[in-house]
Structure 1
């Protein structure tokens, strides 16, 4: 068992102090429900200043928006309860959809606005004349809690978010270094590697949300830009190291051919991956460079096969492996340099080593259909719960509806929300017990505010130490918030056991209903999401290889990378083992190679472009068929023949450009109107080799033409 750290204790004491300050001010100003101010502190507090500030701002905006909607909608529709239920459900579902569509901290605005409206509106439908007062009081008390949490968190031993971001990045570096070393050593499968991929993808996904809070941490704009660049290169590392594995496997395992000097090169590259990250100021300057990386690049250049050797499958594989290794080294050097610059917040000049057209995309992937369905579940839950409430005539039934709405909204974005809703139910039931003990056993003996603070201190500070831990965050936060709310501290002691029991049973009943409804309406989990992501990825591969105009290839690449990072954790959680994550990496590589081939078409001669067109058409048809059938299919043999033919034609062009090329070599080209640059020929050959290895991994030992191994 890991005990709370000093940082956990400090956060808990600061949060408790802020909550008691908010409660005291609310009591002094005789606000109607001072306990809302106390509860709000626990909702918005975070161990880090930037996260607390962003959450506080967005909660204030969301509360104001939800309260305003309640004021506008309750009076006109209070006489038509079923119609009003539809309006409340539609409002909540719409705002929830907007929240899920925004993966930054801003999503909190929409989430709060979505469930704040029913929280304020539904309990006042029996007395609509109080809606304005209730909405104003709710806004005032929540704003008071927000201000207290922000002031205390920002001024008393503040903890910045940037060091935590570096800690998360360092965890990724450790995983990436091990993963890269294992790949270079020839280990490409196993549970440990799979788990490492999951952790790396999860870290990259988490960084996106953290980056949206970093601007509230007084971070300079250049540091923000560098952090975005670091995450972009972290996204690329897994696909690139995966692309490097294919030619290395083909050379080592299938062809049993291993060029002299390649072993030592890979060993030294693996050791470089595991070197400590740069810490000295001199290491962060671009002019200083990285001596190890430069040495590795020179050795890669020395091992490059001669141009005429590219006509053999072995030469093409070696060239492809070295080219991929060079890209991995460039990206790793960029990541190391960016991490150092961010950690030391230096203004030193940084120039990237890895420059590519596909960098810079901003588009993200959203499964709009699944998102819409996820929002319809809370909508339907609210409608059914409202119908049961209205039909039964239960006076406190509004509490059941509101907590059901909150629970369904909180976890709507999860693949399997029901277990978390059940934990919400258990935490709330525990809060009812704790609040009852406080209200009917302890509080009758409290006669001043100081004694009240002492009475709250022990349990709330102890619970607060667990809030920073991801495994306990949701449950402990809910226990603290609900206990503070259910106690309903007022300026004078007033407690009625029957009122307490009736109102709180309503909330527990609403959460139990939310659990049962979620379990019934969303029995599927990560498996369905994975299948939909796979089908969507196949459609994008087909698009990449088609003749359809693509408005922005950078954004298409960004969307595919983002979807892959969403898919990897779901493949691990799914029971469907037919689609391992390695296959998804191959899909992405095929799409990127197809985009590279499309860019090469305008630079090549007619006979080569015709062959490449046939390759692209075959890839597009194959993946369109996979998407149409919703099942991965084996690539047709005719497509491999088309790839081999394209490689032969590219090699013929390359031979014709060698010094001393004969007329017969030139005649090998059907239309040698101009010599094509070697760079475009090399890039085209690398793309074709990569596509062949990804589409036909079991045929990497099979020569593209015949046993003579000429391309």
Structure 2
């Protein structure tokens, strides 16, 4: 499959299961069966804890659960240790104990949301295990250590069993998924640039940039799992990081080409050299095969683009500057595109030879844009949910109140990373209600007729395999996990049958109460968080641009691009839920991304500008810094002042009329880009020929 080929859609009958999803479900069932057998043989007090842990820890990709194994085990131990430390010492002060546990859980969720790596599962498990090891056993604090050890053993058993089974059966690897995602990205990026060069991109611009930015962010998340995926994982991870960086470059470059072409007059767009270059570039992007010859022709197009830009030599007109900017940006885009094709081919086991180029980066880390405010809100919501559960539990003296708190904490931890968890929680509630009849059927009709745990496991097979298959389907994962949880908790697997209808109803009400309370907290704390989070990220971009424009502050183009792309990917995922008319679409970070890159390029080439122009550039950067610092402080977009446009034009005129300054001078190109970004509707600068 080539990086720019369209994925073929093969129709599959509805009743025919997909082999990989079926293998995933069967692997989970084997892990569940192994867990139950060991639990019964070892006489663990609550085997259903181990069984529930199997399905919570299961992941459809082999590389996705292995790095989480260590972190989850450490989280279980940490949470149990906190429980042992708090419960005996605060047993006579229940209000203070609730405060301590809620604060600890909220802090763990804060760290989990902030981290955004597999290490986040350590904090999630620490939060969950401390609560389920504490609240259900507050009436017996003297045996809390023994109880915690049992919970640790049960949950550890579930995690180890599901990990071992998946390691042996290998449902599927994360590497092909990354390769397919990268190929799809290149197809979309090539299609966007082709639309740009044909002047038909405007109606699809939101769709293109949302999808591409989201793909880059998801690719980075997948790359975290590569070291645990295959023996050659370390090399693979470096390859993916380099691929991610090249992709990050392509988004602002495509947007910049679209911006410049939109500003060129009709006469310039008919220039035969420019028209032929655009036609040949589109034809190259539309090719479906990637080989060494295709890469060589791509590099030839790079040289042609640079040559076209360099031909706009001394004393250029405004149109010359725009054409030179188009040539440079197209060359940089094609350079990154061909390098991405080479890297994707390497991931598929095929090495494409290519000349050494300066744009190949070998760094192995990609920065994450973290927001402490968003993470703190998630932690606060979780802590508030625990407070509310405990208030209801203690006020009503409800026997199943401890179970309510445990269920609600599990749910809150599971959806803590979502801006607005209400839609997912609503599905969780519906799935829980649907599964109650199935749980009652197993508990009161099946289990009384089962003799021995071998037969019990066999009777569970149809339900667990079917729900496990649903868990492997992205469209049903949000429903499958609550259904599995409800079923496992409802039948309360223990070493001997001891069913009681009143207890079943009480536990069921506790589950429903936990979900309803979590929904209430989500509506109170987090229902408006999608736009709020997006605007916080945009303000972070503005703040960073203000710092970048301040001389003397650090400026790293690669780091800024990656950080801004990560924010752009997070914003893109949120904008997918917004209406196209939402004004936030107009300030989604792409213009700021280009502007930040241009400011860094300007600062790097500042000393190469004529001395007479350098003072103007210093003043222009100061004004830019003030503008974006003010925007970040006020939280709203401001119109750039006329004084900034005047400084930009003075610098442009000074450079264009200076002896020996070509149209492709880095400072001149950066100024042209900044002017186009900040003042897209301004008239051509006075003092420079229009054409």
Q: TM-score band (shorter)? A: over 0.9
* Distance 1:189-1:359 versus aligned 2 partners, 3 A rule: farther
Which residue of structure 2 aligns with residue 77 of structure 1? Answer: 90
Which residue of structure 1 aligns with residue 59 of structure 2? Answer: 46
Which residue of structure 2 aligns with residue 169 of structure 1? Answer: 182
Which consecutive residues of structure 1, in runs of 5 or more, have no partner in the other structure? 658-675
Among 623, 629, 644, the residue aligned to 1:618: 623
Which residue of structure 2 aligns with residue 414 of structure 1? Answer: 418
> Does the alignment pair 1:687 with 2:670?
yes
> Does the alignment pair 1:298 with 2:303?
yes
Distance in 1, matches of 2:300 and 2:556, equals 36
Which residue of structure 1 aligns with residue 684 of structure 2? Answer: 703
Deviations, residues 496-544 of structure 1 (Å, cap 9, x unaligned) = 1111211221121121111112212223132111222222212222222
Q: How does 1:282-321 map to 2 (within 5 A)?
A: 283=292, 290-304=295-309, 306-321=311-326
Contact residue 318 and residue 690 of structure 2 kept, 8 A: yes
Distance in 1, matches of 2:231 and 2:280, equals 37
Contact residue 54 and residue 159 of structure 2 kept, 8 A: yes
Q: How does 1:589-668 map to 2 (within 5 A)?
A: 589-653=594-658, 656-657=659-660
Contact residue 242 and residue 363 of structure 2 kept, 8 A: no
Which consecutive residues of structure 2, in runs of 5 or more, have no partner in the other structure? 1-12
Contact residue 614 and residue 642 of structure 1 kept, 8 A: yes
> Does the alignment pair 1:372 with 2:355?
no
* Distance 1:21-1:392 versus aligned 2 partners, 3 A rule: same
Distance in 1, matches of 2:276 and 2:364, equals 34
The alpha-carbon deviation at position 636 of structure 1 amounts to 2.3
> Does the alignment pair 1:394 with 2:398?
yes
Distance in 2, matches of 1:79 and 1:345, equals 67
> Does the alignment pair 1:213 with 2:201?
no
Which residue of structure 2 aligns with residue 669 of structure 1? Answer: none
Among 274, 278, 294, the residue aligned to 1:262: 274
The alpha-carbon deviation at position 353 of structure 1 amounts to 3.3
* Distance 1:8-1:362 versus aligned 2 partners, 3 A rule: closer
Distance in 2, matches of 1:645 and 1:573, equals 43
Among 278, 284, 287, the residue aligned to 1:272: 284
Distance in 2, matches of 1:370 and 1:2, equals 41
Which residue of structure 2 aligns with residue 559 of structure 1? Answer: 563
The alpha-carbon deviation at position 113 of structure 1 amounts to 0.6
Greater shift in the superposed pair: 268-277 or 60-69: 268-277
Contact residue 302 and residue 335 of structure 2 kept, 8 A: no
Deviations, residues 368-404 of structure 1 (Å, cap 9, x unaligned) = 1222122111111212221222222222211111222
Distance in 2, matches of 1:633 and 1:2, equals 53
Among 419, 432, 439, the residue aligned to 2:436: 432
Count of residues in correspondence between the two structures: 676
Greater shift in the superposed pair: 168-177 or 8-17: 168-177
Among 478, 483, 489, the residue aligned to 1:485: 489
Distance in 1, matches of 2:178 and 2:367, equals 23
Q: How does 1:231-270 map to 2 (within 5 A)?
A: 231-251=244-264, 257-270=269-282
Secondary structure of 1:447 counterpart:
coil
Distance in 1, matches of 2:466 and 2:194, equals 43
Which residue of structure 2 aligns with residue 664 of structure 1? Answer: none
Distance in 2, matches of 1:300 and 1:268, equals 11
Contact residue 400 and residue 506 of structure 2 kept, 8 A: yes
Which residue of structure 1 aligns with residue 71 of structure 2? Answer: 58
Deviations, residues 46-94 of structure 1 (Å, cap 9, x unaligned) = 2322223223332222111111211121111111110000000111011
Contact residue 363 and residue 556 of structure 1 kept, 8 A: no
Which residue of structure 1 aligns with residue 99 of structure 2? Answer: 86
Distance in 2, matches of 1:119 and 1:84, equals 14
The alpha-carbon deviation at position 639 of structure 1 amounts to 1.9
Among 592, 608, 626, the residue aligned to 1:587: 592
Greater shift in the superposed pair: 685-694 or 243-252: 243-252
* Distance 1:298-1:514 versus aligned 2 partners, 3 A rule: closer
Contact residue 545 and residue 594 of structure 1 kept, 8 A: yes
The alpha-carbon deviation at position 586 of structure 1 amounts to 1.4
Secondary structure of 1:579 counterpart:
helix
The alpha-carbon deviation at position 225 of structure 1 amounts to 0.5
Which residue of structure 1 aligns with residue 540 of structure 2? Answer: 536
Secondary structure of 2:657 counterpart:
helix
- RMSD across aligned positions (CA): 2.5
Which residue of structure 1 aligns with residue 7 of structure 2? Answer: none
Among 489, 495, 511, the residue aligned to 1:507: 511
The alpha-carbon deviation at position 604 of structure 1 amounts to 2.7
Contact residue 47 and residue 154 of structure 2 kept, 8 A: yes
Among 9, 13, 29, the residue aligned to 2:26: 13
Q: How does 1:140-155 map to 2 (within 5 A)?
A: 140-155=153-168
Q: TM-score, normalised by structure 1?
A: 0.90
The alpha-carbon deviation at position 155 of structure 1 amounts to 1.5
Q: TM-score, normalised by structure 2?
A: 0.92
Which residue of structure 2 aligns with residue 226 of structure 1? Answer: 239
